[in-house]
Amino acid sequence: MIVCPNCNHLNPDGAVQCEACYTPLPATTNCPSCGATVQADAAFCGQCGYNLQATAPNAVAATVAPDISGEVPPLVHPDPLIHSQPEVTSGSANYNSPDHSLLPPTQMSVPEPEVASAQNIISPLEIETQPASSEPGSSTPPSQTIQPVTASRTQLQQVTARLVHVQTDRLVELPQNLSVIHMGKPNDRIPPDIDVSGFPNSEIVSRIHADIRAEGDAYYIEDVGSSNGTYINNLPLLPGNRHRLRPGDRISLGKGDMVTFLFQMS
């Protein structure tokens, strides 16, 4: 059956336009795995879950090495940019300046190093053990205690996501060790990670209904070819398209808003 994207009417296979609203219907094709009829733009088969977008890897183009079989010109040594000058020693008194005049000697004064008084030298041991003076007029500074600085460790918080069933107020935690979470009912092909068969009105939910994909801290949901469709905030989600879930989004599996979940993150 082909679901009308405008009014969700079920049309027979091979129909070109909707029987109810005369909207052009999307093209269909057969699943290469199980042969079921799926829409041409669908990403996964609604019966067996086969990935319809898988393509063969592109052939790697051969790399052609450039032709370097030419004559290499001889190397030419460039002229030096800086000319060497004669070294001048301190003991040479007959050195002539460029204007052939004798340079007068230059006297330089070397400052005498200051000698610290032995009375003003305080060892590090005295600084640590010197007691604080209790007299108000004492010139001895009080000892200071330096507290070690400890670096605080940053704790990484892991993002958790959950679904709240609106009709029963039941909480469903999303598995953190799975990148693809299957929603549906028990079957022999793709067992669901979130089994909705125990919720009221679960007969409108397909066995392989929708997938939630975790990519880092983001979560995406897509319909994988269910019979009654998937709705996000009361808007239909076309098969093959995915929607990024945000806290507070309303997920309805099937028509009539009878099996509904609220998406939450913490």
Q: How many CA atoms lie within 13 A of 212 on its CB side?
A: 26
Looking at residue 214, the DSSP 8-state letter turns out to be E
More confident residue, 71 or 10: 10
More confident residue, 196 or 102: 196
Residue 206 lies in a domain: yes
pLDDT of residue 262: 96
Residue 47 lies in a domain: no
Number of structural domains the chain divides into: 1
* CATH at 231: 2.60.200.20
> Which structural domain range is residue 181 located in?
161-265
Residue 234 lies in a domain: yes
Q: What backbone phi and psi angles, to 5 degrees, belong to 222? A: -145, 145
> Which pLDDT band, with edges at 50, 70 and 90, does 175 fall under?
very high
pLDDT digits (tens, 9 = 90+) for 103-141: 555 566 555 655 444 445 444 444 444 444 445 555 555
* Cα distances (angstroms) measured from residue 44 to each of 6, 146, 208, 241, 265: 21, 66, 10, 10, 27
pLDDT at 93 over 50: no
pLDDT digits (tens, 9 = 90+) for 201-244: 999 999 999 999 999 889 999 999 899 999 999 999 988 899 99
Residue 24 lies in a domain: no
Residue 259 lies in a domain: yes
Residue 120 lies in a domain: no
